[in-house]
């Protein structure tokens, strides 16, 4: 019995040491705080944060690539979690959401946003007004530029290319 306790104690110590040393870091990696559509609209107004919507499908190769590469990038995760209310919408789902006081399926919501290809990323201001869409795969650095463009409000006074050029001049 004493030997069993000793073995258990040793395994517990090893487990704790491995956990604290970062061996499990990949599993503990932070993620984007995805929330539902209605919550995002309400919280964005309260917190004065813009909204990011990722319209995706289960079969979409580039949607999965964005999940794996772009949405797992630590800089993207940090920027989105600190500055945006983020939503993922399965554009083929029949699950209901409330949009402007009406009930839509997620599939119908995608049509309301004129989604015709995947992934389609929509950016909204903190009041829920549409700013701009982006269709297709976007790498982490490209998405960071777009997020900063929207968050800073630069879209109100300059086009995206001028925004990128202004960043290059600094």
Query: 103 and 50 in contact (C-beta within 8 Å)?
Result: no
- Residues 9 and 82 occupy one common structural domain: no
CB of 55 closer than 8 Å to CB of 89? yes
Q: Do 156 and 106 lie in a common domain?
A: yes
Best CA proximity match to 118, nearest among 50, 76, 67: 67
Rg over CA atoms, the chain: 21
Q: Could you tell me the residue range of the domain that residue 64 belongs to?
A: 31-168
Does one domain contain both 72 and 120? yes
Structural domains of the chain, count: 2
pLDDT of 22: 44
Q: Do 38 and 20 reside in the same domain of the chain? A: no
pLDDT in tens, 77-107: 999 999 999 999 999 999 999 999 999 999 9
> 145 with 74, same domain?
yes
Together in a domain, 14 and 88:
no
User: Are residues 111 and 57 part of one domain?
Assistant: yes
Q: What is the pLDDT of residue 14?
A: 39
Residue 5 shares a structural domain with residue 45: no
> Which positions of the chain have pLDDT values less than 70?
1-29, 170
In this structure, the answer to whether residues 44 and 1 fall within a common structural domain is no
Q: What is the pTM of this model?
A: 0.81
What is the dihedral angle through the alpha carbons of 7, 9, 15, 16, rounded to the nearest 10 degrees?
-160
pLDDT of residue 168: 80
133: number of Cβ within 10 Å: 16
**Is there a single domain that holds both residue 110 and residue 46?**
yes
35 shares a domain with 24: no
- The CATH number of the domain holding residue 90 is 3.40.30.10
Cα→Cα distances 134→2, 4, 23, 55, 100, Å: 64, 59, 37, 10, 22
Residues near 78 by beta carbon (within 8 Å), at least 6 away in sequence: 30
């Amino acid at each position: 019995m004493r030997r069993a306790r000793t073995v258990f104690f040793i395994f517990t110590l090893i487990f704790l040491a491995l956990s604290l040393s970062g061996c499990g870091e990949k599993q503990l990696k932070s993620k984007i705080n995805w929330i539902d559509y209605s919550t995002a609209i309400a919280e964005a107004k309260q917190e004065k944060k813009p909204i990011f919507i990722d319209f995706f499908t289960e079969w979409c190769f580039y949607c999965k690539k964005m999940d794996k590469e772009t949405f797992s990038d630590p800089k993207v995760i940090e920027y989105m979690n600190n500055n945006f209310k983020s939503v993922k919408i399965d554009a083929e789902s029949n699950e209901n959401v409330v949009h402007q006081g009406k009930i839509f399926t997620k599939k119908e919501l995608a049509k309301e946003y004129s989604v015709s290809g995947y992934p389609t990323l929509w950016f909204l201001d903190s009041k829920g007004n549409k700013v701009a869409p982006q269709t297709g795969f976007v790498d982490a650095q490209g998405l960071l530029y777009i997020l900063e463009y929207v968050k800073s409000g630069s879209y109100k006074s300059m086009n995206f290319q001028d925004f990128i050029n202004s960043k290059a001049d600094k």
